[in-house]
Amino acid sequence: MKVHLSNYAYLRNFSVFLNGFDPSDPTKLEITTNDNWIAVHPAILTVVAALGLNLPSENITFDEITARSGYYLDRMGLFDILHKPSPFTIAYHEAAWRFIPLTQIKTQEEQSKFISEMVPLLHLDPKKADAIKYTVGELVRNVLEHANAPNGAIVAAQYSQKSNVIRLGICDTGMGIKSSLAHTWRGRAQDDLSAIKWALVPGVSGTTMREGGTAENAGAGLFFVKSISMLTRDYFVVYSGSGVYRLLKRRSDVQSVRLRADPDEDKHAETDSAPFFPGTLVAIDISVDKIEEFASLLEAIRMAYSSAVQARRKARYKRPRFI
Number of CB atoms found within 10 A of residue 196's CB: 27
The structure's pTM equals: 0.88
Residue 218: inside a domain: yes
Backbone angles phi, psi at 61, to 5 degrees: -130, 145
CATH assignment of the domain containing 199 = 3.30.565.10
Tell me which residue range forms the domain holding 187. Answer: 98-317
Check: CB of residue 168 under 8 Å from CB of residue 43.
Answer: yes
Total domain count for the chain? 1
CA 274 to CA 21: how far, in whole Å?
Answer: 9
Residue 136: inside a domain: yes
Determine the pLDDT at residue 254. Answer: 55
Residue 167: inside a domain: yes
Determine the pLDDT at residue 21. Answer: 98
Model confidence pLDDT, tens digit, residues 86-114: 988 765 554 445 889 999 999 999 999 88
Residue 215: inside a domain: yes
Residue 268: inside a domain: yes
Q: Could you tell me which residue, 239 or 122, shows the higher pLDDT?
A: 239
Residue 289: inside a domain: yes
Answer positive or negative: Cα dihedral of 261, 264, 270, 273.
Answer: positive
Residue 111: inside a domain: yes
Residue 269: inside a domain: yes
